[in-house]
């Protein structure tokens, strides 16, 4: 209804403009009217999607039947996920870890999935947190895939106040869930310990296990670092 009212107002406006030309500056008036007509046509064309909205629905079962047939190599395209972070003080490591865990546990062939984390701040806390996350993912991802867990971020999954037994028929689910919750609580304690450790920066800066200075001690000027954490080889 609002669109119709606006259309009527636009038509009345152009009727007035055409019926009352400015003879003293006819060229400028003509250019102005042409521009106004152009903007009006653009607005009208922009309304068509609102009048006739298109809804699309994805059928994952059909995608599986076509590209991921049982007994045959998966034809699904490889997918890369990029997660960027800068300051672990503003972006808590536990939140970053849950983001990465939810990506790794997505319902997709693990050999077709890669996750890249970019830390412009080169914080040792982020590096150590990712190492812990990679180890915990070895337990969390199989658990999610085995029982079709949703949501796949452990923090949000274990906080849900719902009947987590709904639609679950595997007898070992309750036992495995309790064990996984305990594993996640221990994982959180390790992450919290890393955060507490990061608050006490040594005067000479952080050092690595071999005694060499951590390249990211200077946040504003540090060399590039690449660390590969394989996580899919343990998944059959």
Sorted by where each begins, the domain ranges of the chain are: 2-47, 79-217
The annotation status of 90 as a binding-site residue, yes or no, is yes
Q: What is the mean pLDDT of residues 119-131?
A: 85
- Tens digit of each residue's pLDDT (9 = 90 or more) over 2-57: 778 888 888 888 888 888 888 888 889 889 989 988 988 888 888 888 778 888 88
Instruction: With 0.85 as the threshold, say if the pTM is over it.
Output: no
Q: In whole angstroms, give the CA distance from residue 94 to residue 126.
A: 10
List the beta strands (DSSP E) in 86-130.
Answer: 113-119
Angle at 105 between CA 151 and CA 72, to 5 degrees: 125
Q: What is the pLDDT of residue 231?
A: 57
Q: What is the mean pLDDT of residues 202-228?
A: 73
Q: What is the mean pLDDT of residues 70-94?
A: 87
Query: Is the pLDDT reported for residue 232 higher than 60?
Result: no
4, containing H or E segment? helix 2-19
Q: What is the mean pLDDT of residues 153-157?
A: 94
Q: What is the mean pLDDT of residues 193-203?
A: 86
Query: Is the pLDDT reported for residue 224 higher than 80?
Result: no
Residue pair 152/106 in contact (Cβ under 8 Å)? The answer is yes
pLDDT confidence bin for 169, thresholds 50/70/90: low
The annotation status of 120 as a binding-site residue, yes or no, is yes
Q: What is the mean pLDDT of residues 191-215?
A: 81
Q: In whole angstroms, give the CA distance from residue 125 to residue 217.
A: 11
**126 CB-contact burial (10 Å; exposed 0-12 / middle 13-18 / buried 19+):** buried
């Amino acid at each position: 209804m609002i669109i119709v009212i606006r259309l009527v107002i636009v038509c009345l406006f152009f009727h007035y403009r055409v019926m009352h030309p400015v003879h003293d500056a006819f060229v400028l008036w003509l250019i102005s009217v042409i521009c106004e007509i152009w903007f009006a046509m653009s607005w009208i064309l922009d309304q068509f999607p609102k009048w006739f909205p298109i809804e699309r629905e994805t059928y994952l079962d059909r995608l599986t039947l076509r590209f991921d047939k049982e007994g045959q190599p998966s034809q699904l395209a490889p997918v890369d996920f990029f997660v960027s972070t800068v300051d672990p003080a503003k972006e808590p490591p536990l939140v970053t870890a849950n983001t990465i865990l939810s990506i790794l546990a997505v319902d997709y062939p693990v050999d077709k999935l890669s996750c890249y984390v970019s830390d412009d701040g080169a914080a040792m806390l982020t590096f150590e947190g990712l190492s812990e996350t990679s180890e915990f993912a070895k337990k969390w991802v199989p658990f999610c895939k085995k029982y079709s867990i949703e949501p796949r971020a452990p923090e949000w999954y274990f906080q849900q106040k719902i009947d987590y037994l709904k639609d679950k028929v595997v007898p070992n689910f309750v036992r495995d869930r309790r064990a996984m919750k305990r594993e996640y609580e221990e994982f959180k304690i390790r992450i919290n310990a890393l955060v507490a450790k990061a608050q006490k920066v040594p005067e000479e800066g952080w050092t690595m296990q071999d005694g060499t200075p951590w390249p990211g001690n200077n946040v504003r000027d540090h060399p590039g670092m690449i660390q590969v954490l394989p996580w899919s080889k343990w998944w059959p």
